[in-house]
Amino acid sequence: MGGPERPARPEREPHHPARPKGEPRFPDGPQPDPAGSHFERRIRSFQPRRSRVTSGQADALQRLWPAWGLDIDGQRVVDLAELFGNENPVVLEIGFGMGEATARMAAADPATDILAVDVHTPGQGHLLHLAEQHGLTNVRVGNGDAIILLREMLAPDSLDGLRVYFPDPWPKKRHHKRRLIQPEFLDLVATRVRPGGTVHCATDWEPYAEQMLDVLSAHPAFENTRPEGGFTPRPGFRPLTRFEGQGLEKGHVVNDLLFRRVPHHDPSCREPRHDQSPTGG
């Protein structure tokens, strides 16, 4: 007699060949490394995050990226009026997470264009989805290193403001050099934000807030909008995010800093170097 009948093996799932190295995940969407090897590899202030892209985000990336997306390749100077289709003032936002706050600010101020830059693909897709859902024509999404964008792709005095909300605090002392808000970064920002434009930062990491305040206060191209100096109350145009609200409930302290680009740039301010180490994105 033969042994017991073996159960039939389940049919294997069809094999999907791996995507060849370098082939974009979304052929009509953001490129995986838009600047490639054209620029030096520097100490970066951001870490690309890998998480699942939902079907809705993927659909938005495929359909909307050709019209509303910008790959930061460093190969050309961007005509912002052409990018947005108008002559409105443009604010650069570095690091927008999932884009909810960006979308709310864009909806509240349709006369201001927002160029929002991040390297998080799900967030890029979600912001594009929100922009379409709410009819926001004043949002464009940048993919890549914000330093390359500022240095290579934006004309002098082309921005009316810069927003950096809750950047990575890099809490370990040996990593402080990776923090975005550094004197060299502000040297570059000072050449791209017009006189009278603003730099608005926010963080829930108090040691980083103190460093930001010190660095911005010491820079000759910027002045605190608070005559008495120090931090500013959260401006009404910056929405309270869900993440921020959860932090406040736990006792976290959130500090805002709002500085203005001074009308006359002090000649003692250094010109940005092409080998500067801090970066953004």
* Per-residue pLDDT reduced to its tens digit, 123-132: 999 999 999 9
Q: Is residue 168 part of an annotated ligand binding site?
A: yes
- Per the document, the length of the chain is 281
Grouping H, G, I as helix, E, B as strand and the rest as coil, residue 246 is helix
pLDDT band at 38 (very low <50, low <70, confident <90, very high): low
Q: Is the pLDDT of residue 158 over 90?
A: yes
Q: Is the pLDDT of residue 251 over 60?
A: yes
Q: Is the pLDDT of residue 177 over 70?
A: yes
Q: Is residue 118 part of an annotated ligand binding site?
A: yes
Q: Is the pLDDT of residue 42 over 90?
A: no
Q: Is residue 250 part of an annotated ligand binding site?
A: no
Q: 225-237 pLDDT, tens per residue?
A: 999 999 999 999 9
Lowest mean pLDDT among 48-52, 63-67, 131-135, 253-257: 48-52
Specify the pTM.
0.81
Contacts of 126 (CB under 8 A, 6+ apart): 57, 60, 98, 99
Contacts of 216 (CB under 8 A, 6+ apart): 181, 186, 199, 201, 222, 224, 257, 259
Q: Is residue 184 part of an annotated ligand binding site?
A: no
Cα distances (angstroms) measured from residue 104 to each of 74, 142, 156, 209: 29, 18, 28, 24
At 264, list the tokens.
Answer: 């006359």
At 107, list the tokens.
Answer: 């909806």
**Nearest of 168, 152, 164, 114 to residue 136 by alpha carbon:** 114
What does the DSSP assignment read for 199-213? EEEEES-HHHHHHHH
CA atoms within 13 A on the CB side of 168: 19
pLDDT of residue 14: 43
pLDDT band at 267 (very low <50, low <70, confident <90, very high): very low
Catalytic residue, candidates 33, 59, 109, 168: 168
Determine the Cα–Cα distance for residues 97 and 86; give it in Å rounded to an integer.
26
Determine the Cα–Cα distance for residues 95 and 193; give it in Å rounded to an integer.
18
Highest mean pLDDT, choosing among 5-14, 27-36, 145-154, 241-250? 145-154
Catalytic residue status for 73: no
